[in-house]
Amino acid sequence: MRLSTRGRYACRAMLELARCQAQGQKNISIDRIAEHQQISKRYLEHIFARLRRAGIVHGTRGSKGGYTLQRQPDRITVGEIVRAVEGPLGPVRCVDEPSSCPKSGCCATHDLWVEAARVLCDLFDRRTVADLAREQTRLDAARKTNSQ
């Protein structure tokens, strides 16, 4: 399965929100996220609309507006984010919608696709935004050390 840019960018945007909030900042603007993550502002607006509908972020309008995480970063999983912007994680449609396939119930590959979806879901549901933030902090420190 290949995630679209929507899923990858959503995870990076949530990482940015978590890091900003950890520094005491609130209502992080789309402009700031777009700049720091090098993502189109217009594209992020579509992503944030989906994240808002899923209850992952809260948006505030106005000059001091922006976005905040609805829950603590250790309570938001990568799986939740990806499902909010991509939909079901099954690698093929028949995993999530068995009635969509005329071979449902008699296909030797079906169990393989189900297992692949389970493994991916388990991994994404174990990883949180807090995990991503910790890893980014580690990578930033390593890069800083290597550049000195």
- Residues 103-118 have a mean pLDDT of 86
The confidence band for 95, taking pLDDT boundaries of 50, 70 and 90, is: confident
**16, 36 in Cβ contact below 8 A?**
yes
Element (H, E) at 33: helix 30-37
**pTM of the full predicted structure?**
0.90
pLDDT digits (tens, 9 = 90+) for 120-145: 999 999 999 999 999 999 999 998 88
Three-state DSSP class for residue 65: coil
Only one residue has tokens 């807090």, namely 130
Three-state DSSP class for residue 44: helix
**82, 8 in Cβ contact below 8 A?**
no
Instruction: Find the length of the chain.
Output: 148
pLDDT of residue 1: 65
- Residues 111-118 have a mean pLDDT of 90
- C-alpha distances (whole Å) from 122 to each of 53, 78, 119, 128 are 23, 10, 5, 12
pLDDT digits (tens, 9 = 90+) for 8-32: 999 999 999 999 999 999 899 999 9
**75, 67 in Cβ contact below 8 A?**
no
pLDDT of residue 98: 79
pLDDT digits (tens, 9 = 90+) for 33-70: 999 999 999 999 999 999 999 999 999 998 888 999 99
Euclidean distance between the first and the last CA atom of the chain, given in angstroms as a whole number: 39
pLDDT of residue 64: 84
**Domains of the chain, with CATH numbers?**
5-143 (1.10.10.10)
